[in-house]
Amino acid sequence: MDCGLIGRKLGHSFSPKIHSLLGEYPYRLIPLEPEEVGNFLQKGEFHGLNVTIPYKKTVMEYCAELTPAAQRIGSVNTILRRPDGTLLGDNTDYDGFLYLLKSAGAQIEGRKALVLGSGGASLTVRAVISELGAREIITISRSGENNYQNLDRHADAQIIVNATPVGMYPNNGVSPVDLDQFPQCEGVFDLIYNPAKTQLLLQAQRRGLIWGNGLGMLVAQAKAASERFQGKKLPDELVTDITAKLERETKNILLIGMPGCGKTTVGKALAQKLGRPLADVDEAIVAQAGCSIPEIFAKEGEEGFRAREHRALVQIAKESGQVISAGGGIVTRPENRDPMEENSVVVWLRRDLHKLPTDGRPVSQSVPREELYRRRAPLYEAAAQVTVDNNGTVEDTVDEIIRRVMG
């Protein structure tokens, strides 16, 4: 049984990995140029396929039959070869988005929904929301009747779904809309999964709304496709388990804590043990500035250093799957919150104050450690999801972080 994914650019697709966890069948990435698609489908050395951008509509004419979901959405993301050799076009993005809403506990019935974007993903979203009984569905597009200039018409929206690429890696940190414009909003969903939390989702989370990103949707559409490939039902827990696994593997582990508590040292050992790349924010600042941290403080003051630190963090934190050692003062600037939270599990490393060195650390030299700790402990506490003591050996600390973060 040969399966795979066709599309134009498939560089870092998660699909082969997800399908390897869903069943035992070969699943290949098959990048095709537009003129190759027809021939590939007709020649037909495959049992089942997934289809991604830009061919979800192109493939429809090669399918002898379309499922109701594929017809309604007007696009095909899953193709199945039938016993007589003809192709059935289906759409499991529908199942994927349905899962995303259900797993987040969203209530759609009777609600007014705004769908940002008018492309293929938007069609899927609208089909699902309509099926779930939304009261009104408004599509926002750049040049349509309802656009980003007249969002005030829809200030009463209760559900917002981002089906645009705005905020997607590498353009992190921007949002298609400001949620403050929607005081009645209850739930926000973003089809993007890199970063794990777009700026839109960070805003939703801070407001205490129901929210979800596109990773569960990606896994759930793959599971629905895999059920069709394998001709059998798969347990729903597989979706939750695989999503959690991918999340653990892609999220950065970001170390924060008092200056000298061991972020750089533990970070190195942790990265090595996990086989992950290591990024040290202070090292990036020094490399960029071409001089040492005490020199930066002397020339540009703490303000200058913090501005450099923020810029370095923004660049580093948008990459995935790394270990990141921050500088001790990263939590003192509110603008660092979004980049720290978008893609990382934040770990607060604690080491007894009397063990903390102060050399090469201008802040530690000007403020006594106890006083600095008094000011900063609440900030570390608020920023961290996990707290780990670093008073034993470096190896013990590394193992404890792995145990707590990787489950």
Catalytically annotated residues: 56
Q: How far is CA 228 from the centre of its chain?
A: 27
Select from 17-25, 141-149, 165-173, 387-395 the region that touches ligand ADP (CB under 6 A).
387-395
Residues 298-357 that bind ligand S3P (CB under 6 A): 327-329
Q: Helix, strand, or coil here: 390?
A: coil
Select from 3-11, 218-226, 258-266, 284-292 the region that touches ligand ADP (CB under 6 A).
258-266
Taking CB within 5 to 8 Å according to partner kind, which of ligand ADP, Mg ion, ligand S3P, none is near residue 390?
Answer: ligand ADP
CB half-sphere exposure, 257, CA atoms < 13 A? 27
Distance CA 68, CA 75 (A): 11
The nearer residue to ligand ADP, 15 or 322, going by C-beta atoms, is 322
Residues 234-263 that bind ligand S3P (CB under 6 A): 259-260, 263
CB of 369 within 8 A of CB of 332?
Answer: no
Omega cis (within 30) before 277: no
Taking CB within 5 to 8 Å according to partner kind, which of ligand ADP, ligand S3P, Mg ion, none is near residue 329?
Answer: ligand S3P
Q: Which residues bind Mg ion (CB under 5 A)?
A: 263-264
| DSSP string over 312-356 | HHHHHHTS-S-EEEPPTTGGG-GGGHHHHHHSEEEEEEE--GGG-
Number of residues that bind ligand S3P (CB under 6 A): 12
Q: Which of 151, 91, 158, 154 minimizes the C-alpha distance to 121?
A: 91
Site string for ligand ADP, 211-250 (x = CB under 6 A): ----------------------------------------
CB of 224 within 8 A of CB of 246?
Answer: no
Burial 136-167 (b: 16+ CB within 10 A, else e): ebbbbbeeeebeeeebeebeebbbbbbbbebb
- What is the nearest approach in angstroms of ligand S3P to the Cβ of residue 205? 27
The nearer residue to Mg ion, 223 or 263, going by C-beta atoms, is 263
Residue showing tokens 């040290």 = 280
Write the single-letter amino acid at 118: S
Is 267 among the residues that bind ligand S3P (CB under 6 A)?
A: no
Select from 90-98, 206-214, 231-239, 389-397 the region that touches ligand ADP (CB under 6 A).
389-397
Is 260 among the residues that bind ligand ADP (CB under 6 A)?
A: yes
Contacts with ligand S3P by CB under 6 A lie at 259-260, 263-264, 282, 293, 327-329, 361-363
Residues found near ligand ADP in the complex (CB under 6 A):
257, 259-265, 325, 357, 390, 393-394, 397
